[in-house]
Amino acid sequence: MTNTPITPDGRGSRIGEPEYDRLLAEVAEWVRGPGEAWAERIERTDAVPAELFAELKALGYLSMAAPVQLGGRGLSFDQWMGLMEIFSRSHASIRMLVHVLNGTWRAINPHVTDIQRERFVIPMIAGELLVAFTLTEPGNGTGADLTTTVRREGDTYYLNGRKHLITFGVHCDYWLLFARLEGTSGKDGVVGLLVDRDAAGVTVEDTSNTMGVHGTDHASLTFVDTPVPVAQRLGEEGDGLKIALGGFLTPSRISVAMSCVGLAERAQELAIEYATGRVTFGKPISSRQAIAFMIAENEADIQAAKQLTLHAAREWERGAPEAPALSSMAKLTAVDMLTRVTDKALQIHGGIGYWKTSAIERVYRDARAQRFEEGTNEIQKTVIARAVLSGAAGKAAR
């Protein structure tokens, strides 16, 4: 363990390299063995079994990224990225579980009271509470233009509005929800709340019928005067976007970028396996220049995206002001890379890759979800452009 002070969002925590190497090997073995068996069951039933969640919890895979002081394994963020890379070679719903459970606490912990930490954060890290990040709305963007509102009456907020595309929104315990105080505009009026899944005045629509990422539930939510205790507000009124964007989305975008790397590596693995085993005119198709060049392009693409993602992870961990823009760069680059890699991997398989009996078919479907998870490519470009242009303006002013 390092002697560096550990921040409330986990920066400064780290485990020794021998322990980390053993953990990498353990997770890789699980992904290829039990993880693949679970993947087949998820695809067959279109549901994530409760037994899988229990197994991930028992193995400690839902609490790896949190500091030991909070009940976690104590991995640094860049160490956690190495584990995300491996988990992402598995089924997308398995990756989604470990991604969300190992990340949501990070946004909350810097803003909670000691009582809230005991009530929410520590049980989240232990895998006893599932909290769904609840920002996106159907009628507007995902930032300062939120239209879901709260009004305060004494010790209670009353929540009104709609949210959609909420991962784990059906079966969670709480929604980590962002809304604005009635009568406010802009970022300063946004609050972060932990809303009980069973609160009154909520309509939950299960919208889980997706192209890929089978088994993970998604919800559309409608709130009509839903009561939320003021004691379940995170931080102060006006802290909402700071919690949502800096506390959750910046590290989460880096994590999604690494999940793209891991899934691309799985696609490349399947492509190489098929290309070396498929024989035409007496030779494996891997000996054909067209196929070999696709594999070479994929490998270069994967490595470039991986290194940018690791750079973003390390910059976020040290608190660099460029980290938010770098997280968007990593996510944008990795998503585009994954699109190219999975398309070539499917092409290498030829027609057989289009059948559900081929592993590459599931990888190809799951890859498409990454293009909008934690913000579309267009959102990432907006974040990057704003950072670059404001930086250029600042330099010009000096």
Residue for token pair 């990756």: 95
> Please, what is the angle between helix 77-87 and helix 250-277, to 10°?
40
Give residues with Cβ within 8 angstroms of 137, minimum separation 6: 146, 147, 148, 161, 162, 163, 164
Annotated catalytic residue 374: yes
Exactly one of 269, 315, 374, 378 is catalytic; name it.
Answer: 374
DSSP string of 125-156, one letter each residue: HTTS--EEEE---TTS-SSTT---EEEEETTE
Which has the closest alpha carbon to 63: 43, 44, 46, 80? 80
Cβ(77)–Cβ(251) below 8 Å: yes
Which residue type does 9 have? D
Which residue type does 216 have? T
Positive/negative CA dihedral, 169, 211, 325, 67: positive
Torsion angles phi and psi, residue 152, rounded to 5 = -100, 130
Which has the closest alpha carbon to 60: 46, 47, 50, 74? 74
Residue 299 structure tokens? 């490998």
Q: Phi/psi class of residue 10: alpha, beta or left (left: φ > 0; alpha: ψ in -120 to 50)?
A: left
* Number of helical (H) and strand (E) elements in the chain, helices listed first: 14, 10
Active site residues: 374
